[in-house]
Amino acid sequence: MEELLRLLGNDYRIFRLDGIGRVKYTNFDGNISSFIDIIKFDERAKAAKLFMQAMLNGSSEGNLMLEKEKGYELHHFRFVKNDDEVIAIGKKIEDRVPAFSTDYMGNVLSASDEWSSLLNKNIFEISENKENIFTIVTNAIEYGEYEGKVNINGKERRLIVRPGNEIEFYIEDDVSEFIWGILSSRNIEDIVRNLERLLDSMGYEEYFIRIENETVGVDREDAPITIPFSRGVIKIYDGTRKEILSALPPILNFSLSNTLSASLIMNKFAVYGVDEDGNIIYINEKFEEMMGYGKEIIGRNISEFCNEHEKNMKDGIFKWRTPLSEIYVKEYIMPVNGVIYSIIFDVTEERDAMREAEFYNSLLRHDIYNKNQIAMGYLGLLKKTNTTKKQKELLEKTIKAIDEGNKLIESVRKMEEIKKNARIRKVRLNPVVKNICSSLEEAARANSIEIEYENLNSTIIADDFVGEIFLNIIGNAIEHSGAKHIRIYGIDEEITYTVVVEDDGKGIEKEDMKRIFEEGWKKNSRGSGIGLYIVKKLMNRYGGKIEVESEVGKGCKFKITFRKARGKDEFLRIRF
């Protein structure tokens, strides 16, 4: 239990109390026998009340001042009953930066980056229910502080209002509450419900959860984030990957074991933690067994053991130096209040096998490509000799077949690169598509095709391979459509941006429309049948969609819809 609770970080004060408030475990400094002893004297009655409410009702929460040798620490505490004990987790809020501050007339004076849209506005005027915010501020002034909830764009978050020279508004997600809810769930239905609360708190609007036969949401193929675990899967259709998601599989696997003994998860998985400078500050026993290092590495820098972690910590597979050898580990990173924890798995054997297979595949492709190029050279020389008309036709067909094989090898190489290196990020669309059109100008002129291009002024969610989508679609239109004119333009909507590529060519027959994105499908074409398949896979990765409209003899229209990257100022519905 203690090991898992330490994952909550140094900004949390953790207490495991028996039925009468005696301390059985804590990470608070000093020898403490009773929880009440470290509470500021005038708040001890409040602390006792919160403890008794937890014993009677299962949980309670509130702010408490903890006495230190010099001064006090203000924490927001949550008490949860666990069998005959009470777990108290206090989140430090004294040193936290407010989301925004106002004067006593409600004018916003300062704001963090997340809340910068509020600057030069009045909080009373922009909130949906002015009477509530007036009451909240009045209570905060009268009692010194207010605790409650605030609804931001339909998501409930925790609110603390503290008056001083200015009125400070603290608005935050208490992720630890939701994680604790998942860990302490008694059945699958509870786990699903608490997992929903966690994903909602993180701002995700579209997701699918399946745990055994229990499901939430719609299962689709276009999820940019997929998180499998032992007895289910999570798919997220909006947003970008956040750190806590990487830690969900072991948390859910533990919860599904139907036990509240948190030490089991820590004994099963190797865990280490580093501070913001990369110095190792925590390892567990499983880490010692896997790596061969003991407590002697505490205080040493992570770069001594893993060069790839010198600049930043991230999910992935990394090479570690152990006392006897080098091993590869897969790491799931979870930053918590200035401490970065990593759950690690030894994947040396799997990686070696995968690398060996990749090597042989790469070698095979390289050798076949080179052999094909040599064959093409010989065939080119043969064409210049005295050959019959029939022999020349056969030579042309042979050269085309070899060329198709080389294009297939290149397509497979691209798919491997996409799988390895794709990183979802914000991408300016206009330069990408404009460059693709420029690269295809000569091919278009050779086919007597005019390309009409309108600027695509949008920033979308994609990766470095987004150009492959337009290279395939525009390239296909040039090579196969028989068109005289190709038009490319954008449709700007509230949360999406659609690029339309339309031509006036021969069109696609109705029975073929459903098959054009299938792997390997082609019709009367020298291509590999893999180009549009790559397009579909990329759009699924980006959480977008691709549609095609066509009528034989009247041309074809591809509609490629991306998620727009949202700016910080696309904001804000507040309901206090």
- The predicted structure's pLDDT at residue 574: 67
Q: How confident is the model at residue 360 (pLDDT cuts 50, 70, 90)?
A: low
Once rounded to an integer, what is the mean pLDDT over residues 457-485? 88
Residue 289: the pLDDT is 84
Describe the strand order of the beta sheet including 280-283 as a list of residue ranges. 280-283, 270-274, 339-346, 326-336, 316-321
Helix axes 531-542, 389-421, angle to 10 degrees: 10
Tell me the torsion sign for CA atoms 184, 188, 190, 195.
positive
Closest CA to 272 of 253, 252, 286: 286
Nearest 5°: phi and psi at 505? -85, -155
3-class secondary structure, 106? coil
Which class would CATH give 100-172?
A: alpha beta
**pLDDT surpasses 90 at 560:** yes
Question: Domain 269-346: what homologous superfamily?
Answer: PAS domain (3.30.450.20)
H/E segment holding residue 419 = helix 389-421
Given the DSSP bridges, would you call strands 496-503 and 155-163 parallel, antiparallel or unpaired? unpaired
Report the sign of the C-alpha dihedral through residues 282, 284, 285, 291, in that order. negative
pLDDT one-digit tens code per residue, 374-415:
777 778 778 788 888 888 888 887 877 777 666 666 666 666
Task: Tell whether the model's pLDDT for residue 261 goes beyond 80.
Answer: no
- Cα–Cα distance list, 456 to 429, 431, 485, 493, 497 (Å): 6, 9, 19, 13, 9
Tens digits of per-residue pLDDT, 265-320?
445 678 888 888 889 988 888 888 888 888 889 999 998 898 877 656 777 788 89
Distance of CA 26 to the CA centre of its chain: 33
Confidence of residue 153 (pLDDT cuts 50, 70, 90): low
For residues 352 and 319, the answer to whether their CB atoms sit within 8 Å is: no
Contact assessment for residue 133 and residue 149, using Cβ atoms and an 8 Å cutoff: no
> So what's the pLDDT on residue 561?
92
Average pLDDT over residues 65-90: 79
Tokens of 318: 């990394």
Reported confidence tier of residue 484, pLDDT bands at 50, 70, 90: very high
Confidence of residue 110 (pLDDT cuts 50, 70, 90): confident
Say what the pLDDT of residue 366 is.
60
With pLDDT > 90 as the criterion, what percentage of the chain qualifies? 11
pLDDT exceeds 50 at position 565: yes
CATH 3.30.1490.20, domain 1-93, yes or no: no
Q: Is residue 456 very low, low, confident or very high in pLDDT (cuts 50, 70, 90)? A: very high
Mean pLDDT of the chain: 78
Tell me what pLDDT residue 571 has.
43
**What CATH number was assigned to the domain covering residues 425-563?**
3.30.565.10
Band of residue 569 on the pLDDT scale cut at 50, 70, 90: very low
- Residue 438 CA to residue 267 CA, distance in Å, equals 58
Contact by Cβ (8 Å): 314, 243 = no
For residue range 171-183, list pLDDT tens digits in order: 866 555 566 667 6
Identify the bridge partners of residue 450 per DSSP, sorted by sequence position.
Answer: 485
| pLDDT > 70? residue 495 | yes
Q: What average pLDDT does this structure show over 56-82?
A: 79
Q: With pLDDT > 70 as the criterion, what percentage of the chain qualifies? A: 76
Cβ–Cβ < 8 Å for 199, 207:
yes
The token pair at 446 is: 């050779």
Residue 457 has pLDDT above 60, yes or no: yes
Candidate from 141-145, 228-232, 234-238, 494-498 with smallest mean pLDDT? 141-145
Rounded CA separation 256/185 (Å): 9
What's the rounded mean pLDDT across residues 119-143? 84
Q: Residue 239's pLDDT band (boundaries 50, 70, 90)?
A: low
